[in-house]
A = this chain, B = another copy of it.
Amino acid sequence: MDNKLNLKFKIWLEKDGKAFGNGPYELLNGVKERGSLRKAAQDMNMSYSLAHKLIKSLEERLGYPLIERTVGGSGGGGSSLTQDAEHLMQNYHAFIQEAETSLDRLFQEYFVKKDGSQ
């Protein structure tokens, strides 16, 4: 139960269909941290094949690769992010942070400060 009026929103990017949003951001972040698409997918309770399809579809829409295979190492290879993916994640993260701040400020202005009943 929450008896205060609250702001809710969803923000995502499209390019001939859904191109990027919180889910893809979280998946790419997992690849970055775990060095593996398989482990990143597991962490999100997503099958590897679905995660793989999602990445392929995003890459097609965005027009550049997001993930590259890493060969060898103790784990026998894995996945890492491309520079374009790192760049996209940085921009997306900063964009979402600023968007949230901005929407919260407007919400306060129109629905909290103005209206004593909230």
Contacts and interface: CB of A to CB of B under 8 A. Distances in A.
A6 interface: yes
A43 B14 CA distance: 30
Nearest to A111: B91
Contact of A94 (B4, B15, B110): B110
A32 to B, nearest CB: 19
Contacts of A87: 115
Copies of this chain present in the complex amount to 2
Which bucket holds chain A's interface residue count? Answer: 35 or more
B14 A6 contact: yes
Contacts of A116: none
A5 B13 contact: yes
Interface string A1-25: 1111111111111111001000000
A44 interface: no
A8 B95 CA distance: 13
